Amino acid sequence: MKMTLLYMVLAALMTACGSTGTSTTTEATSDTTATTTTASRAQFNGDAAYELTRQQCDFGPRVPATSAHAKCADWLIATLKTSCDTVILQTGTVQTATQGALGIKNIIGIINPDASQRLLLLAHWDTRPWADNDPDPANHKRPVLGANDGASGVGVLLQLAQQLKAEGTTLGIDILLVDAEDMGENDNEDSWGLGTQYWAAHPHVPGYKPLFGILLDMVGSGDATFSREYYSMQYASGIVDLVWRLAAGSHFKDVQGGAVTDDHIFINRAGIPCIDIIDLRSDSDTGFCPEWHTVDDTMPHISASTLGEVGQTLLNVIADLEQ
């Protein structure tokens, strides 16, 4: 009885304080006994990631060249400065498919700038100017709030940076928040991911060469299914294998998914292997969740639990690379 109580107190203390160590799982099957050792860290805080997602939405749609976009950029920089060693604001001009020249802001948070082993984590922070997939055509010219398509990936990365600051890491981590991902038009691949294309042509460090990259896009829905996205498999199947092996929770599915023209394409073209963790729906006409590019891409569809699973997966990957 005494021992049980002591064990419970120790376990509760470890959960409360957070722990970094290794855990060993032994699974007995009918004819083999498999032992997997995985590095583990403190639990990722999905509630805090939810709050950081909501705070972005409070600015309104973050459409490039609007005041909400400018205010959110300032907030992202200030927030990253609380957790990263260095924060860079990269400004530039890109050509959009339909709106002419556009000023963009890519924001880069750097953890452990001198570490040679680096991981690139990215998400787009802008939101689409047009809800052109909305069931009501009257909404097609209204902007998307982007709780999922924009804020969710950024929310996970901002919280990850906070936890890495609190817990420490030996790895170099580069958090790249890219602008102007979502101004593209159908059948025009290069009209998407404009901020990433700019960064790929002007990396924040000349000759930048991380181990690999992981893109988060639409990672907040309570109904998310993260299948193995097609281009991620074409360019970097070994990284997909690693991430899906370390994936936390029930939203990661070990199935092949469709192809998405997303920011990871341009990172791969720049010679950095990069995968996309993206919510793909094989049962929908668009291939995405029902709120995609509608005015209903709002916080009620966001789940702290899903954000938590994605963040935990990244913590697991980081712990694995540190070993």
- Of residues 107 through 166, those in contact with ligand 1BN by CB under 6 A are 149
Which residues, in sequence order, are bridge partners of residue 111? 173
Choose between 128 and 281: whose C-beta lies nearer to Zn ion: 128
Residue among 182, 276, 279, 296 that touches Zn ion (CB under 5 A) = 182
Q: CB 96 → ligand 1BN: shortest distance, Å?
A: 14
Is 297 near ligand 1BN (CB under 6 A)? no
Is 260 near ligand 1BN (CB under 6 A)? yes
Binding mask 120-159 for Zn ion (x = CB under 5 A): --------x--------------------x----------
Residue 296: name its binding partner from Zn ion, ligand 1BN, none (Cβ under 5 to 8 Å by kind): none
**Rg for the chain, CA atoms, rounded:** 20
3-class state of residue 321 by DSSP? helix
Q: What is the signed CA dihedral for 320, 321, 322, 323, rounded to 10 degrees?
A: 60
Q: How far apart are CA 140 and CA 297, in angstroms?
A: 13
Q: How far apart are CA 49 and CA 157, in angstroms?
A: 8
Is 266 near ligand 1BN (CB under 6 A)? no
3-class state of residue 37 by DSSP? strand
Residue 261: name its binding partner from ligand 1BN, Zn ion, none (Cβ under 5 to 8 Å by kind): ligand 1BN
Q: CB 148 → ligand 1BN: shortest distance, Å?
A: 9
Q: How far apart are CA 319 and CA 160, in angstroms?
A: 13
**Quick one: which H or E segment has residue 94?**
strand 86-95
Residue among 262, 296, 297, 309 that touches ligand 1BN (CB under 6 A) = 262
Q: Tell me how many residues contact Zn ion (CB under 5 A).
A: 3
Choose between 173 and 198: whose C-beta lies nearer to ligand 1BN: 198
Cβ atoms of 41 and 171 closer than 8 Å: no
Residue among 92, 143, 184, 311 that touches ligand 1BN (CB under 6 A) = 184
Quote the Cα angle for 260-266-269, to 5°. 115
Q: What share of residues in the chain are helix, strand, coil (percent, to 5)? A: 40, 25, 40
Residue among 182, 279, 296, 297 that touches ligand 1BN (CB under 6 A) = 182
Residue whose CB is nearest to ligand 1BN in the complex, by number: 261
Is 262 near Zn ion (CB under 5 A)? no
Cα-to-chain-centroid distance, residue 239: 15
H helical segments located in 168-229: 194-201
Q: Can you give the binding site for Zn ion, defined by CB under 5 A?
A: 128, 149, 182
